[in-house]
Amino acid sequence: MKVLNRSLVVLGAGWLGAALCREAEFQGWQVEGTRTQANKMHSWSRQLVLTENGTLAHSISLHDAYWVCAIPPRARHVDSSYLETLEQVLLLAKKMSAAGFLLCSTTGVYSTENGEYDEQGKLADKANRRVDILRTAEEMVLNAGGKVVRLAGLQGPDREPGRFVVGKTLSSSANGRVNMVHRGDVVTAINTVIAQWQDAADIYNVCYPAHPTRQAFYQYHCEKLGNEMPNFASSKEESRIIKAERITELGFAYHHPIVNESELG
């Protein structure tokens, strides 16, 4: 990251957020990463939690930092307080003179219809509660002058796709196309946007450019682990493709293939 202000606040230092913190620390940045309870194992760990009265309890201390929100929205949970937390966090970031605020969103905001979806693609209907939460979060951040990265399905260390589908029957089609990205590429993509904050666009998709079928994708990952393949609800041809070339205009390149394409046969 080549910016003058080398400090970073990561909200939600979980599987993705902690990787961002570790990389920032490795690059010599001042970094603070939040959980609902601070982890004393990490010098950068801080607390951030929405209290019952709707205020934030936190131990963030970095002023003039870049902020990345990687808090899981838990949008399928009825008791999700994601939007309330985000509202308070945006106010706190402004109070602490944040240099920029970046939201980690998802390509799940796009329509489920077949087609190709770049950053101007058709969005899913807000009548769906999960989509409503995701889209509202994006609007809140964009209206506050922030930026958004829409992430495809995540894989990487401890999220090996072949481990979680063993013996299952998936509701999707075997011939549907996957939209996935490795955590290592996501970390680099986020760093790239921060490094070029003033010139960067407001919204970027982050998705590996290869889109094998679900059958081929899971076969590769299950065989790698010696695990049983899942079953699929249908074999209908489906092609919903997330296009993520815009971010390459910042000099970013994908370096973590989601499968070994030479082995797909």
pLDDT bin (cut points 50, 70, 90) of residue 262 is low
- State the average pLDDT over residues 87-102: 97
Q: What is the distance between the alpha carbons of residues 207 and 243, in angstroms, rounded to a whole number? A: 7
pLDDT digit string, tens, across residues 38-68: 888 899 999 999 998 889 999 999 999 999 9
How large a percentage of the chain has pLDDT more than 70? 95
**Phi then psi dihedrals of residue 211, to 5 deg:** -135, 70
pLDDT bin (cut points 50, 70, 90) of residue 9 is very high
**What pLDDT score was predicted for residue 3?**
53
- Is the pLDDT assigned to residue 210 strictly greater than 60? yes
What predicted TM-score, i.e. pTM, was given to this entire model?
0.94
Sign of CA dihedral 186, 187, 192, 195: positive
Question: Which bin fits 115, alpha (ψ -120 to 50), beta or left (φ > 0)?
Answer: left
**What pLDDT score was predicted for residue 155?**
96
